Amino acid sequence: MTETELIPATDAGIARCAAMLRLGKLVAFPTETVYGLGADATNDAAVRAVYAAKGRPDFNPLIVHVPDFWSAQRLIDLPDVGVGLAHGAWPGPLTLVAPLREDSPIAPTVTAGLGTLAVRVPAHRLAKELLMAVDRPLAAPSANPSGRVSPTTPGHVLSGLDGRIAGVLDGGPCPVGLESTIIGFEGDQLVLLRPGGLPAEEIYKMTGLPVQDREGAAITAPGQLASHYAPNALLRLDADEPLADELWLGFGPGPGGPNLSERGDLEEAGSALFRLLRELDEAALNGQTIAVARIPREGLGVAINDRLMRAAAARD
């Protein structure tokens, strides 16, 4: 493929991205969580090209993005609890997994053969404008080579996929910086398939329902393989301070150097996490370890700790 085009976030730029997507090309675009690698979800060849560009295993299904709740309802059969949750949380960093409707136009490769589909209504203005302009659902996994850290800037996207995709819509850094929370349904219960940008506490406030944690159970989100956000460097978590030969990633007051949030704010930490992991990974010498300060396991801290644990997990 030729060079990947960085496309400005103007009306003309959005129209150009939409035209490319309608032709079956791959265009990365910003959402409030991370950059997604977009493809027309009704075009099987385009969706296959997404798996190829990412080097993604074909058993790992994609999330489909739509501009509003009504578009989502044309694709999946949401149970009543899901309708309530969608009204509370969309647009926003939440993905819902529900049975695929038989009359949905989604290409079969999107779901990797599952009877369910993951759907999300992003809140980012550019994502929304692009979805309206394309006027088709967009399949969009995070715009990184499979198994690497998700991109939160156009530069991150290009560092992994330059030459493999047609374009990147330049929306600057993503405000949330962590992927969406993924929720599935079992009867009337909400099941957490991946912690993310919408904390379980918020979901409880919206629905009055606790979120059942299925982490560590059978892999129901096939992408949730243990080491899935791997930098090259090793990580040591819940550290009090760096050892002599370690790099340091702080949270709150403590040793100097890169810090997720000096004031101990979890939102600030979430939006900085992937960027700082990449920067430290580039700075790390071969075999050097990044020591990471303890981060509270509540609110967005649950997703932050989840990503750090995966980044620290043993590699295949």
- 152 belongs to the binding site for ligand TXA (CB under 6 A): no
Residue (33 or 261) nearer to ligand TXA, CB: 33
Give the shortest CB-230-to-Mg ion separation in angstroms.
Answer: 12
Partner that binds at residue 146, options ligand TXA, Mg ion, none, CB closer than 5 to 8 Å by kind: none
Asked if residue 291 lies in contact with residue 211, where contact means CB atoms within 8 angstroms, the answer is no
Residues found in the chain:
316
Q: How far is the CB of 181 from Mg ion (least distance, A)?
A: 14
- Cβ proximity to ligand TXA, 34 vs 295, nearer residue: 34
- Residue 63 within binding range of ligand TXA, rule CB under 6 A: yes
Q: What are phi and psi of 306, to 5 degrees?
A: -60, -45
The stretch near ligand TXA (CB under 6 A) out of 17-25, 178-186, 253-261, 279-287 is: 178-186
Instruction: Work out the end-to-end distance of the chain between its first and last CA atoms, rounded to an integer number of angstroms.
Output: 30
Q: Residue 216 and residue 265: Cα distance in Å, rounded?
A: 27
Q: Is 18 helix (H, G, I), strand (E, B) or coil?
A: helix
- DSSP classification of residue 163: T
Asked if residue 117 binds ligand TXA (CB under 6 A), the reply is: yes
Q: Return d(Cα 229, Cα 222) in angstroms, integer.
A: 14
Residue nearer to Mg ion on the CB measure, 25 or 310: 310
Neighbouring C-beta atoms of residue 27, cutoff 10 Å: 28
* E strand intervals along the chain: 5-8, 27-29, 36-40, 63-65, 94-99, 116-120, 138-139, 167-170, 181-186, 189-194, 211-213, 234-239, 247-249, 289-293
| 220 in contact with ligand TXA (CB under 6 A) | yes
| Contact status: 180 vs ligand TXA (CB under 6 A) | yes
CA dist 12 and 273 (Å) reads: 32
Residue 114 binding partner per list ligand TXA, Mg ion, none, with a CB distance cut-off of 5 to 8 Å that depends on partner kind: ligand TXA
142-201 positions binding Mg ion, by CB under 5 A: 142
Q: Would you say 115 or 287 has its CB closer to ligand TXA?
A: 115
Q: What is the DSSP string of 43-92?
A: -HHHHHHHHHHHT--TTS--EEE-SSHHHHHTTB---HHHHHHHHHH-SS
Q: Confirm or reject binding of residue 31 to ligand TXA (CB under 6 A).
A: yes
Q: Which is nearer to ligand TXA, 191 or 254 (CB)?
A: 191
Closest approach of Cβ 89 to ligand TXA, in Å? 13
**Minimum CB distance to ligand TXA, residue 247 (Å):** 26
Task: Work out which of 76, 198, 203, 221 binds ligand TXA, going by CB under 6 A.
Answer: 221
Does position 114 interact with ligand TXA (CB under 6 A)? The reply is yes
Q: Does 193 bind ligand TXA (CB under 6 A)?
A: yes
Long-range contacts of 222-226 (CB under 8 A, 24+ apart): 222/57, 222/59, 222/60, 222/61, 222/112, 223/60, 223/194, 224/193, 224/194, 226/310, 226/313, 226/314
Q: How far is the CB of 66 from ligand TXA (least distance, A)?
A: 11
- The residue among 149 and 269 lying less far from Mg ion, judged by its C-beta, is 149
Which residue's CB is nearer to ligand TXA, number 42 or number 220? 220
Question: What CA–CA distance (Å, rounded) separates 263 from 265?
Answer: 6
Which residues in this chain contact Mg ion in the complex, by CB under 5 A?
Answer: 142
Which residues in this chain contact ligand TXA in the complex, by CB under 6 A?
Answer: 31, 33-34, 36, 60-63, 95, 97, 111, 114, 116-118, 120, 140-142, 179-180, 182, 193-194, 220-224
